[in-house]
Structure 1
Amino acid sequence: MNLSYWEIKSWLTDVDFTVVGSGIVGLNCALQLRERFPKAHILILEKGVLPQGASTKNAGFACFGSLSELIDDLQHHRPEEVLQLVRQRISGLQLLRTTLGDKAIDYQELGGYELFLESDEELYATCDHQRDEVNKLLHPIFNAPVFSLKENSFHFNKIKEHYSFNPFEGQIDTGKMMTALLQLVLKKNIKILNNIKVEDISQNGAQVHIKTDHFEFLSSKVFIATNGFASRLLNETVKPARAQVLITKPIKDLYIKGTFHLDKGYYYFRNIDHRILLGGGRNLDFKGEETTEFDQTALIQNKLEELLKTSILPHTPFEIDHRWSGIMGIGATKKPIVKQLSKDVFCGVRLGGMGIAIGSLIGKELADLLD
């Protein structure tokens, strides 16, 4: 890129903090840095036209884990660790709501439901048996039972007559959330450059050398918040995980309201603007979905449409309006990676599909790694 003197002087000279990634984590990291360092020159680099990854592509679930997901977590983590994970998610959601306000993100606490397929006898029995145990574990956070059984009032087909209900789960408008975040960042005099792909980061004496596909410059500190794309820049155990999504055209008199989980959370759907948004199916091809390509596959898209026709909207005509995919960052554990990588480089990645819940908090924690 043939940069002018003015461009170099205004954007790429005396940069105190560079944040790589303009998703939920990156933007909140920049906001926290601005709070702590009011006069700092803060620059955010984003490889997409819009924030790539999952921040503008997620389903907008303000959730902290379905009953079956938490039971599964208890198989791999100590109860204290699971409780801490839920605390972190609740704290992150509260920070998001406090930072932007419920109206700006269209937060609605319509409750969350977990459906069980008729064939999921074992899973249903396990959840029914361990529901009280999970409620007891979560009581210190909510001071009330979280999960209860509820009749199939939405008349879904080919599922158990009762499903798990969680009154504390909510939903947001993802587009409104990211628009509000971006506006707040710009208001705080934080610069964002889009369509800039970071290719290499290396220590250069007392500063960090950043090489992009358009230019090179120096920054005092660098904060990497690329989540599902972390492996391109970091030697950390983060795998990309693609999530495919579709949304219907508006449906007249749509009576389904809330956030819904199905098949251990591998499928999820919700109401939005008189439409049904449905995503998931990664379990049909785990290896194939370990990719950073924003594509859709017939295997998963056909399954999503089948679920709409046979279980979710069995008696309601619908048309598909849009299809897309997002890239999450996952690992062997649910614990995010927030750490100092070298003297002047830090990272906050591997959100495990919980970006809405913990993204704000991880961004703050990332900035607070700086002494």
Structure 2
Amino acid sequence: MNVSYWELKNWFTNVDYTVVGSGIVGLHTALRLRERFPDSKILILEKGILPDGASTKNAGFACFGSLSEIIEDLRNYSEEEVIQLIQKRWNGLQLLRKRLGDATLDFKPYGGYEIFLKEDERTYAECLQKMPFINEILKPLFRTDVFTKEVDRFDFKGIHEYLIFNPFEGQLDTGNMMQALLKETIANNILILNQQTVKEFHDSDKGVEVHTTDFTFTSKKVLFATNGFADTLTNGAVRPARAQVLITEPIPNLDIKGAFHIDGGYYYFRNIGDRILFGGGRNLDFEGEATSEFGLTEKIQNRLEQLLSEVILPNTPYKIAHRWSGIMGLGSHKKPIVEQLSPNVYCGVRLGGMGVAIGSLVGQELADLV
């Protein structure tokens, strides 16, 4: 790369901290480093034009897990682990709201709902049966019942009589959130370079030699916040998972407000003003969607449209305005990986599809490892 003296001096000399990834985790990491080390030089490297992955591509759910997801987690993890994970997600949401403010986030506390398709009798019955127990174990955290059953007032079709309501869920504007975080990062004298992929790095007693798409430089510490793209970094402990999403054109007199979960959280929808955003369907093709490549598939998009027309908007005409995909980071455990990889290299990854909730806290924990 044709690098000038000025570029070397201002961007690539005496770099204290390099954060790889400018998503929710990466930006919170950098901001926390600035709080701890006010005079340090902090550089963020981002491989996309905008933050790649899921930070600018998610659905904007301020949630911590539906009732059926929590019940499923209790099958795989101890009660203590599940409660700790919910607490981290809840604390992360409060940290995000405190940093940016509800007005900036366009945070709306409409609550969250879980709906159950008619054919999903087993999950519906289990959720109703175990709801009192789940409320009891969450009471120390929320001081009241989290989940209650409500009769459907939205005129959905093909579902069971009761919805499960959670008043602690909300929704926010993902674009506003990331734009505000980027502005705050720049205001704190943190440098961001886009379209720079880290090809390799070498840790030594002199620091970390970082090789990117266009140049090589040395940083005292490197912190990876690459979530869905961290499979190589973590020896396979993080697997990419693609999520496909669509959004409708504005729908006159839309009477749906809230964050909604279907089929154990594999499908999710919400209103954005008078539009419906609808995503999910990864469970139709786990193997095919375990990819770090952005894209859409006919099988999943057709299922989203089927549920949209038959269940969510059965008597309402609509048009699809836009479709996209994002890449999440999953693994054999839902607990995020926040750890030191070598003397000067750290990572905060595997957000388990809960980046909005837990990303700010993971970023803070990652910075505090230094």
TM-score of the pair, normalised by structure 2: 0.99
Q: What is the letter of the counterpart of residue 362 of structure 1?
A: V
Could you say which residue in structure 2 is the equivalent of 1:78? 78
Could you say which residue in structure 2 is the equivalent of 1:246? 246
| TM alignment of 1:136-155, pairs within 5 A | 136-155=136-155
Could you say which residue in structure 1 is the equivalent of 2:117? 117
Could you say which residue in structure 2 is the equivalent of 1:323? 323
- Say which SS state the counterpart of residue 253 (structure 1) adopts: coil
Superimposed CA distance per residue, residues 230-271 of structure 1 (whole angstroms, 9 cap, x where no aligned partner): 124442500000000000011111110000000111000000
Could you say which residue in structure 1 is the equivalent of 2:89? 89
Structure 2: runs of 5+ lacking an equivalent: none
Quote the Cα distance in structure 1 between the aligned partners of 2:362 and 2:116: 32
Quote the Cα distance in structure 2 between the aligned partners of 1:198 and 1:233: 11
Could you say which residue in structure 2 is the equivalent of 1:196? 196
Quote the Cα distance in structure 2 between the aligned partners of 1:81 and 1:333: 10
Quote the Cα distance in structure 2 between the aligned partners of 1:274 and 1:206: 55
- Say which SS state the counterpart of residue 218 (structure 1) adopts: strand
Quote the Cα distance in structure 2 between the aligned partners of 1:82 and 1:136: 13
- Say which SS state the counterpart of residue 287 (structure 1) adopts: helix
| TM alignment of 1:272-283, pairs within 5 A | 272-283=272-283
Deviation at 1:41, TM superposition (A): 0.2
Superimposed CA distance per residue, residues 293-333 of structure 1 (whole angstroms, 9 cap, x where no aligned partner): 11000000010011111000011100000100000000011
Could you say which residue in structure 2 is the equivalent of 1:4? 4
Could you say which residue in structure 2 is the equivalent of 1:34? 34
Could you say which residue in structure 2 is the equivalent of 1:20? 20
- Say which SS state the counterpart of residue 230 (structure 2) adopts: helix
- Say which SS state the counterpart of residue 2 (structure 2) adopts: coil
Deviation at 1:7, TM superposition (A): 1.0
Matched, 1:350 2:350: yes
Quote the Cα distance in structure 2 between the aligned partners of 1:199 and 1:77: 36
Q: What is the letter of the counterpart of residue 306 of structure 1?
A: Q
Quote the Cα distance in structure 2 between the aligned partners of 1:236 and 1:343: 21
Superimposed CA distance per residue, residues 72-106 of structure 1 (whole angstroms, 9 cap, x where no aligned partner): 01101111111111110110000000011111111
- Say which SS state the counterpart of residue 182 (structure 1) adopts: helix
Quote the Cα distance in structure 2 between the aligned partners of 1:175 and 1:245: 15
Quote the Cα distance in structure 1 between the aligned partners of 2:196 and 2:29: 19
Matched, 1:209 2:212: no
Quote the Cα distance in structure 2 between the aligned partners of 1:228 and 1:306: 28
Superimposed CA distance per residue, residues 208-248 of structure 1 (whole angstroms, 9 cap, x where no aligned partner): 00001111100000000000001244425000000000000
* Cα contact 1:261–1:267 (8 A) shared by 2: yes
Quote the Cα distance in structure 2 between the aligned partners of 1:251 and 1:9: 53
Superimposed CA distance per residue, residues 13-59 of structure 1 (whole angstroms, 9 cap, x where no aligned partner): 11000000000000000000000000000000000000000000000
Quote the Cα distance in structure 2 between the aligned partners of 1:226 and 1:71: 29
| TM alignment of 1:331-342, pairs within 5 A | 331-342=331-342
Deviation at 1:121, TM superposition (A): 0.7
Could you say which residue in structure 2 is the equivalent of 1:62? 62
Quote the Cα distance in structure 2 between the aligned partners of 1:237 and 1:167: 34
Q: What is the letter of the counterpart of residue 284 of structure 2?
A: L
* Cα contact 1:201–1:233 (8 A) shared by 2: no
Runs of 4+ in 1 over 2 A off after TM superposition: 232-236
Could you say which residue in structure 1 is the equivalent of 2:304? 304
Quote the Cα distance in structure 2 between the aligned partners of 1:246 and 1:2: 42
Could you say which residue in structure 2 is the equivalent of 1:162? 162
Quote the Cα distance in structure 2 between the aligned partners of 1:217 and 1:205: 15
Deviation at 1:273, TM superposition (A): 2.6
Could you say which residue in structure 2 is the equivalent of 1:107? 107
Quote the Cα distance in structure 1 between the aligned partners of 2:74 and 2:53: 28
% of aligned pairs identical?
61
* Cα contact 1:116–1:160 (8 A) shared by 2: yes
Q: What is the letter of the counterpart of residue 292 of structure 2?
A: T
Deviation at 1:205, TM superposition (A): 3.1
Matched, 1:179 2:182: no
Of the structure 1 ranges 180-189 and 1-10, higher mean CA displacement relative to structure 2 is found in 1-10
TM-score of the pair, normalised by structure 1: 0.99
Give the aligned length.
370
* Cα contact 1:199–1:233 (8 A) shared by 2: no
